[in-house]
Structure 1
Amino acid sequence: MRGPRTIRNVHQRIIEAPAETVGALVDRLSAPDDPLFPTPVWPAMVLDRPLAVGADGGHGPVRYRVTAHEPGRSVRFDTDDDLGAGFHRLDVEPLGPDRCRISHVLEVAMPPVAFALFKLVVEPVHDTMIEEIFDNAERAALGSLPHPPARRSRRALLANRLRWVKPVAVPVPAEARLLRGAFERPDFTDAWRLPLAPGMPRDPRAWRHLLPFAERGAEDRELMLGEDAFHLDFRGSLVVDDESVTLATAVRLHNTYGRLYFAVVRRLHPYVVRRMMRRAHRRVAFATPPAGERNRELRTAP
């Protein structure tokens, strides 16, 4: 049986900014206002405590722990699981008073199957994410990106689409007050929820395009849309909180035709809603300003 194979993947970029400025950005990895990790297009880095030796966490399915941290200069994450054992580290090296090099090194020994999977699927995503981290460092340190943004390869985008988060069924939330008051006795209700990644909008109007119906009411965290017809009335509520967006629906049937019609539609409804929400969620994520730009706005706000 063939033994483990070692992956060594290195990215570097020179940034026309002081090492202290870029190093301070690295020290904010996993913070609520993390300026570097390329969310919400890619999974956020989540640690069980602020960045420091001993912190555990990861991003998406990738798990690791912080084993070394020199504030303003370097951080190292170690991993050891069935997919491989090794480390990745991010370093900032001064090259003068207003110039520095940021580098990322990944070195992991993997069994043959994991090695093949990495080369085929994971490496394109990894390469894209690291280059976008570097883009965000420049945006945050310089105020703008002095060159075109990193290109996302077709394989990276395919992996992104296939692994995108899926809606889960939940009870109609108590916060859907408009929807709950729309019909005294609805014949059907359901609700589907998706988590909101850092940077994604918390205003329900930002999700208005999910439903092509007229507005029927609005509150701070709820937008209700709907349509009335001779056979049924439909209402859909977009409820947004700090953690998630929920699409809750209610239907009131009027007659035999409505009951027959909805008997068919009811079977298709969950598939249509899940597909529609997942597509809209991904579209909103890709339209969200990158972390480095959001950080710049926070840093310069009065």
Structure 2
Amino acid sequence: MRSFRTIRNVHERTIEAPAHAVGTLLGHLASPHDPIWPAPAWPPMRFDRPLGVGADGGHGFVRYRVSAYEPGRHVRFSFDPPMSGHHAFVIEPLGPDRCRVRHVLELARTGPMLLGWALAVRWMHDTVLEELFDNIEQAVTGTVPSPSRWSPWVRLLHRLTWDRATACDLPAGARLARAAFERSDYSDAYRIGLRPGMPRDPESWRGVLRGAPFPVVGREGGEILLGEDAGHLDFRASILVDEEQVTLGTVVRIHNLRGRLYWTVVRRVHPFMARTMLRRIHRRLALTAPTATARARQAPAPPLPHGS
């Protein structure tokens, strides 16, 4: 008998496609060409090895490992301590051209986490699952008659829980920023990790300085440099994008007392504004990126390993 403290959450959808077609999609879950997990709008599912028993990973702050796997039919993930429980995908054939996809979560939690589930986690979890089912349906049938929609509450939670930029040194790869001035009076940098499907072209990130359209003064590789010179100080903003992260760097050269007084005031709010602007465009680009299904069509997933 299940404890009253056990959370049980079930999602299922009937798909007008053969079970083996949906099973193939499931086999690519968490792979570099994953066609169904709804990233980058949500944290990607990642493991330390290809999908199979023993693979360890998770998505976001939720950690788990693959504890059972029947290729094309069933995969079960057991949560890491202190969490206790599992979640699983099951594909049930309903005929030659129809199947049912079911996701079941059972989680034993106590205290504040029960409240967290009721107020926040459940709503985001439900949205992720329905979007994943949308991707499955889109991939195998070409259409989604009733696509999922975000409620106002989910939109608010999504905004509040989005990734935050962290401070770092100006990267060695930011060569344009490092060479901008013979001397600099101030420099900083903030970075945030990239999710699958997010653009790697620095031009796509120029909107980070929305509201202050500084001209482009240099481009090199994955870096674009914006800035402006003035009588009191010169300013450069570097946007550096690599395969793992995007970094917003700032370099300032002060010319006189007026510039020093101006920057003394501005630098008090600059770190907050830089983090906020980077986080804002990061979320905006994630929400407007092509879906996992669309990306998979552009770069078809490789065949599954033998035996999958």
Provide TM-score, normalisation by structure 2. Answer: 0.92
Alpha-carbon distance in 1 for matches of 2:77, 2:223: 41
Q: Which moved more, 1:286-295 or 1:151-160?
A: 151-160
Report if aligned partners of 1:48, 1:56 keep a CA contact under 8 Å in 2. yes
Q: CA deviation at 1:110?
A: 2.3
Alpha-carbon distance in 2 for matches of 1:218, 1:155: 41
Alpha-carbon distance in 2 for matches of 1:26, 1:42: 18
Alignment partner, residue 100 of structure 2: 101
Report if aligned partners of 2:64, 2:77 keep a CA contact under 8 Å in 1. yes
Equivalent runs, 1:94-243 vs 2, <5 Å: 94-142=93-141, 144-211=142-209, 212-243=213-244
Q: CA deviation at 1:4?
A: 5.2
Partner SS for 1:238: strand
Alpha-carbon distance in 2 for matches of 1:96, 1:220: 52
Alignment partner, residue 58 of structure 1: 58
Alpha-carbon distance in 1 for matches of 2:113, 2:168: 35
The reply on whether 1:295 has 2:296 as its aligned counterpart is yes
Alpha-carbon distance in 2 for matches of 1:186, 1:42: 39
Alignment partner, residue 304 of structure 2: none
Q: CA deviation at 1:154?
A: 2.4
Alignment partner, residue 44 of structure 1: 44
Return the letter of the residue paired with 2:159.
R
Q: CA deviation at 1:295?
A: 1.1
Partner SS for 2:261: helix
Q: CA deviation at 1:80?
A: 5.1
Q: Provide the aligned length of Structure 1 versus Structure 2.
A: 297
Q: Which moved more, 1:102-111 or 1:283-292?
A: 102-111
| Residues 187/113 of structure 1: CA separation in 2 closer, same or farther (3 Å cut) | closer
Q: Which moved more, 1:67-76 or 1:168-177?
A: 168-177
Alpha-carbon distance in 1 for matches of 2:126, 2:230: 51
Alignment partner, residue 9 of structure 1: 9
Partner SS for 2:197: coil
Alpha-carbon distance in 2 for matches of 1:112, 1:176: 46
Q: Which runs of 5+ in 2 are unaligned?
A: 302-308
Alpha-carbon distance in 1 for matches of 2:221, 2:147: 35
Partner SS for 2:300: helix
Alignment partner, residue 267 of structure 1: 268
Return the letter of the residue paired with 1:100.
C
Alpha-carbon distance in 2 for matches of 1:80, 1:219: 43
Q: CA deviation at 1:13?
A: 0.9
Alignment partner, residue 255 of structure 2: 254
Return the letter of the residue paired with 1:255.
N
Which whole-Å deviations, capped at 9, do the CAs of 1:89-136 have from their partners, x for residues lacking one? 101122222222111111222224322221111110110000011011
Report if aligned partners of 1:139, 1:296 keep a CA contact under 8 Å in 2. no
Partner SS for 1:63: strand
Let me know the Cα RMSD of the aligned residues: 1.7
Alignment partner, residue 75 of structure 2: 75
Partner SS for 2:181: coil
Q: Which runs of 5+ in 1 are unaligned?
A: none
The reply on whether 1:92 has 2:74 as its aligned counterpart is no
Which whole-Å deviations, capped at 9, do the CAs of 1:268-301 have from their partners, x for residues lacking one? 110110111111111111011111221122229x
Q: CA deviation at 1:61?
A: 1.3
Report if aligned partners of 2:197, 2:289 keep a CA contact under 8 Å in 1. yes
Provide TM-score, normalisation by structure 1. Answer: 0.93
Alpha-carbon distance in 2 for matches of 1:299, 1:190: 40
